[in-house]
Structure 1
Amino acid sequence: MSAANSDYVKALEVGRPPNIGRLFPNSKALLVSGKAIDRAMNAKGHALALAANGRNHFVIRGVLAAAQRANAAVIIEIAKSEGGQKAYCPVNYWNMARQVDAVCNELGITIPVAIHADHYGIKNAGDIASAKVEIPSMFDAGITSIAIDASHLPDEENLLANLELNSFIPAWASLETEVGEIKGKEGLSTVDEALFLIRGLNAHDIFPDWIALNNGTTHGIEASDAGIQVELTAEIHEAIKQYGVNGAQHGTSGNSYDRLRAIATKTRTTKANVATALQFVSWGLEVNEYGNANLDANGNFIKVKGEGMSEELWGEMVAFAESKGWKKGDYKNLNLPFENKLLAQPREIRERMAARVEAFAYELITKVFNSADTAPLAIAAILAAGSYDLGAKGKRIENPADWTREMLAKQAQGLSRDKGPAGNFED
């Protein structure tokens, strides 16, 4: 047995969290806390972990194959809108880990993989009450990382929601928090807003691994050339550096690769979400080099003949969407009703769907995100800790007495209340 294989076996023994060991006692898949993935990116330096939204089974297969080929630590995730109780995707918070584990064992995947519940949205008191039941159920089902997204709320309520839900998240799990809704150039996050959230959490001994910002990105089909604001992101990351928090970049689809490379080199970002591009690629749609779907002269998607799904099934999906009056941004809703039909296609078509994702994801990992060869670094972090619990990167700096509920109004004085236009921007 090689030293590398020996390390993998040791990591399997100590690096899989208790919920993973309980669910998959005989598995050879290394499903880990996102903390290990984050530490690997830090160790390599200027590296972004691909956090792939597994909207369908083919995305999961393709991304895992790409990460294995690139020897890269990777994250498979799904957002609440995509995979919560009102999901529009067949992959959800409760079956994602099972799919990932099965594919890893089937394909002989030997890189560390985190299972991330992205954009777990909190918009009101009712959501908090539901979360206290739902979050434990998600970890029971194999989640190893979570993003608490209360960014829709005023800053004080965002902080309070994070504080109230933290005890329902295992200490070993990686944690992402968010400030500023993801809605493009409107309501951009500020240094003060990010500091307010991170300082308030720090005072209560909560040390997030990542913070997501509204730094100019959007989700879905990118319609603006403004995109991610690199300098704003760098400024905010520098301000919170002492708290040990890295950045999570949402909505990468549609941003130029030069801009994404700048995010890697000029900011403290270690996690980059990719969703819509992978969906389009798996389907066999024509996309530009950044993953945006190209449209024909009539504004319709272009299906590449002989790639992705069959032409007949694509025609059926288009007809279904048109019968619903759906616009192009609504095509994501096709994932759930058509998954079984996609899986029922001949093997060669299923394999080419996953292979197309693999090629696209491999390019991102190796030529844009700089995360190739980070798998051994994640394994090394696990072995150095001797545990699935890698602990926190930060330590308490703030005085808890300054961050009681009664003190929040004072701490929040002067914060911007501009959250941009109302709407649903969470996936």
Structure 2
Amino acid sequence: MPLVNTTEMFKKAYEGGYAIGAFNVNNMEIVQGITEAAKEVNAPLILQVSAGARKYANHTYLMKLIEAALIETDLPIAVHLDHGDSFELCKACIDGGFTSVMIDGSHLPFEENIALTKKVVEYAHERGVTVEGELGRLAGIEDAVNVSEEDACFTRPEEVEEFVSRTGVDSLAIAIGTSHGAYKFKGEAKLRFDILEEVQRRLPGFPIVLHGASSVIPEYVDQINTFGGKMPGAKGVPEDMLRKAASMAVCKINIDSDLRLAMTATIRKVFAENPSEFDPRKYLGPAREEIKKLVKHKLINVLGCAGKA
């Protein structure tokens, strides 16, 4: 099956009351763990590439890894640019085979965000590529995204209709209380479902996206801390809140930090138990299996998209 854009998968997700998992990829083991899990439960996938991951792994290498995943799984898979910050970056990804891009103009004034987003949409749509825009800003740090708590702001529902109609975007990322990175919340996360409900009322049938939606699974944090890490007080979004969001207008839920934690916790454990280990297969292999286990859990128990490919 060739790569797909997000149009059909979002339509099915909205109507079916579930969300598609958008998992960030950086290397072969992460791609394998995610896609093997999806194949086993027959789930559609969005594989996300940040600007940092694209620079680290090289665009060509990542696309060839994803091409291999298509051959191995025969699943509907979209390749998505996460947090594109310029027209030039979005254009390079579109020209390089991505089927979906995000243009993040959320740091700009409203009119400038509209102008930039519309420019990307026009270029992308001519080439069959879908576009995600953003209104509101999530706090936190992840790759090139760095927003302080003071600069974070919730999405204003009264702006969403104008933004979507004037830009032509295919999906919209909103800020309702999630945040980027593992060091997320000083207390329990509380999503603003009132904002989500109002956005859904104003944009009926339109797919909404949640960024920063890792749950920061305590077992991984504890394991990292047990084997020399320092992650005090790391918290994420409770999975029951994500399930509720997926049953509403949210059709895409981004997961990155949980993948990193699963991989890091497993590798730390391997080295703690065998300090002399130097074969990458002996620590990257178990990390790949842990990612696979984590992704299957998310697909089945959180996103609800198992069996929907």
Give TM class, smaller chain. 0.7 to 0.9
Question: CA 1:360 to 1:99, structure 2 compared with 1: closer, same or farther past 3 Å?
Answer: same
**What's the secondary structure of 1:284's corresponding residue?**
helix
Note the C-alpha offset of 1:73: 0.3
Aligned partner of 2:122 in structure 1 is: 167
Spell out the pairing of 1:198-347 with structure 2 (5 A cutoff). Answer: 198-201=164-167, 206=168, 208-221=169-182, 222-224=184-186, 225-241=188-204, 244-253=205-214, 254-265=236-247, 267-285=248-266, 303-305=268-270, 345-347=279-281
Q: 1:197 aligns with which of 147, 151, 163?
A: 163
Paired with 1:237 and 1:91, the residues of 2 have a C-alpha distance of 37
Question: CA 1:349 to 1:103, structure 2 compared with 1: closer, same or farther past 3 Å?
Answer: farther
Paired with 1:144 and 1:42, the residues of 2 have a C-alpha distance of 20
**Contact 1:31/1:113 (CA < 8 Å) preserved in 2?**
yes
Paired with 2:306 and 2:255, the residues of 1 have a C-alpha distance of 17
**What's the secondary structure of 2:47's corresponding residue?**
strand
**Contact 2:44/2:77 (CA < 8 Å) preserved in 1?**
yes
Aligned partner of 1:351 in structure 2 is: 285
Number of residue pairs the alignment of both structures matches: 275
Aligned partner of 1:51 in structure 2 is: 22
Aligned partner of 2:111 in structure 1 is: 156
Amino acid in structure 2 at the alignment position of 1:70 = V
**Contact 2:270/2:283 (CA < 8 Å) preserved in 1?**
no
**Contact 1:98/1:142 (CA < 8 Å) preserved in 2?**
no
Aligned partner of 2:76 in structure 1 is: 112
Task: Tell me how large the CA RMSD over aligned residues is.
Answer: 2.5
Note the C-alpha offset of 1:109: 0.8
Amino acid in structure 1 at the alignment position of 2:129 = A
Question: CA 1:32 to 1:349, structure 2 compared with 1: closer, same or farther past 3 Å?
Answer: same
Aligned partner of 2:6 in structure 1 is: 34
Paired with 1:53 and 1:257, the residues of 2 have a C-alpha distance of 18
Greater displacement, 365-374 / 95-104: 95-104
Larger-gyration structure (1/2) = 1
**What's the secondary structure of 1:280's corresponding residue?**
helix
Aligned partner of 2:146 in structure 1 is: none
**What's the secondary structure of 2:108's corresponding residue?**
coil
**Contact 1:220/1:276 (CA < 8 Å) preserved in 2?**
yes
Note the C-alpha offset of 1:121: 1.4
**What's the secondary structure of 2:263's corresponding residue?**
helix
- 1:137-176 superposed Cα distances (whole Å, 9 cap, x missing partner): 3223221101111111011110011122323214421211
Paired with 2:195 and 2:276, the residues of 1 have a C-alpha distance of 46
Note the C-alpha offset of 1:197: 0.8
TM-score normalised by length of structure 1? 0.60
Amino acid in structure 1 at the alignment position of 2:286 = R
Question: CA 1:64 to 1:268, structure 2 compared with 1: closer, same or farther past 3 Å?
Answer: same
Paired with 2:11 and 2:275, the residues of 1 have a C-alpha distance of 43
Q: 1:91 aligns with which of 57, 68, 74?
A: 57
Amino acid in structure 1 at the alignment position of 2:133 = T
**What's the secondary structure of 2:73's corresponding residue?**
coil
- 1:101-158 superposed Cα distances (whole Å, 9 cap, x missing partner): 12343xx212111000111114xxxxx4xx1xx4333223221101111111011110
Aligned partner of 1:69 in structure 2 is: 40
Paired with 1:48 and 1:373, the residues of 2 have a C-alpha distance of 12
Aligned partner of 2:298 in structure 1 is: 364
Q: Could you tell me which runs of 5 or more consecutive residues in structure 2 were left unpaired when the two chains were aligned.
A: 141-148, 215-235
**What's the secondary structure of 1:231's corresponding residue?**
helix
Note the C-alpha offset of 1:262: 1.1
TM-score normalised by length of structure 2? 0.81
**Contact 2:130/2:170 (CA < 8 Å) preserved in 1?**
yes
Paired with 2:59 and 2:160, the residues of 1 have a C-alpha distance of 27
The sequence identity of aligned pairs, in percent, is: 23
**What's the secondary structure of 2:83's corresponding residue?**
strand
Paired with 2:111 and 2:50, the residues of 1 have a C-alpha distance of 23
Amino acid in structure 1 at the alignment position of 2:265 = G
